[in-house]
Amino acid sequence: MGHRFHPKHVDKLLNADRQKLLPHTAILERLDVQESHVVADVGCGPGYFTIPMAQRCTTVYGVDVSPEMLDMLSKRAAEAGLTNVRSVTAPAERVPLPDHRMDRVLCAFVLHEVDDLDKTVEEFDRLLKPSGKLMVIEWEKKPMEMGPPFVERLERAELTTRMQNAGFHTELWGINPYHYAVIAEKVEE
């Protein structure tokens, strides 16, 4: 398992530079978040993606292992006047939400930190409706000054293969020179 992001560095998750690199509008459009959707943001932190999702859809479950991050999310949601954000304290591998209820699942910069990658991908499958869509955003596996240590990063090919092995059809998206996304949908059986 990689190191977990520490809440004392939360300013890195909410600064203007991050919006330039990871424009949430473009990312949520690519995930195709609709007004009627119920969404889980797994590893939500202080809600960088959760808050904009909640402005677009019915309900967003912000899932994070850190109660401190979820407190920040709740405060930010209240400040934005949002009443459709639900906080869930849980690891990505075991999310206590019902089976097949999520229209979308977003997991940004978390999979390199989990204890069991395959179990986490299976958990996303369990959460998603048959017509649901998953987006995983990770750091490119190349040396750079920002982000997690190089050895903790996931290769695009490894992540894609694991998701395909779990029954997902995948599409790769190079968001910027530092980050990529795997967009996944269940293969019809």
Residues 69-85 have pLDDT tens digits of 999 999 999 999 999 99
Q: How far apart are CA 150 and CA 12, in angstroms?
A: 18
Residue 149 clears pLDDT 80, i.e. is over it: yes
Residue 179 clears pLDDT 50, i.e. is over it: yes
Domain boundaries, the chain: 7-186
Do the bridges between strand 59-64 and strand 85-89 make them parallel or antiparallel, or are there none, so unpaired? parallel
State whether residue 76 is helix, strand or coil. helix
To the nearest 10 degrees (0 to 180), the angle between helices 117-127 and 156-165 is 50
Residue 4 clears pLDDT 60, i.e. is over it: no
User: What phi, psi does 99 have (nearest 5°)?
Assistant: -65, 140
Domain covering 7-186 in this structure, CATH number: 3.40.50.150
pLDDT band at 10 (very low <50, low <70, confident <90, very high): low
Contact 63, 43 (CB under 8 A): yes
Residue 120 clears pLDDT 90, i.e. is over it: yes
Residue 13 clears pLDDT 90, i.e. is over it: no
Q: What is the pLDDT of residue 1?
A: 47
Q: How far apart are CA 90 and CA 57, in angstroms?
A: 22
Strand ordering across the sheet containing 179-186: 85-89, 59-64, 38-42, 102-108, 128-139, 179-186, 168-174
Contact 121, 95 (CB under 8 A): no
Residue 43 clears pLDDT 50, i.e. is over it: yes
Q: What is the pLDDT of residue 188?
A: 66
Q: What is the pLDDT of residue 126?
A: 97
Residue 31 clears pLDDT 70, i.e. is over it: yes
Distances in Å between the alpha carbon of 111 and those of 43, 76, 108, 181? 9, 24, 8, 12
Q: How far apart are CA 181 and CA 73, in angstroms?
A: 23
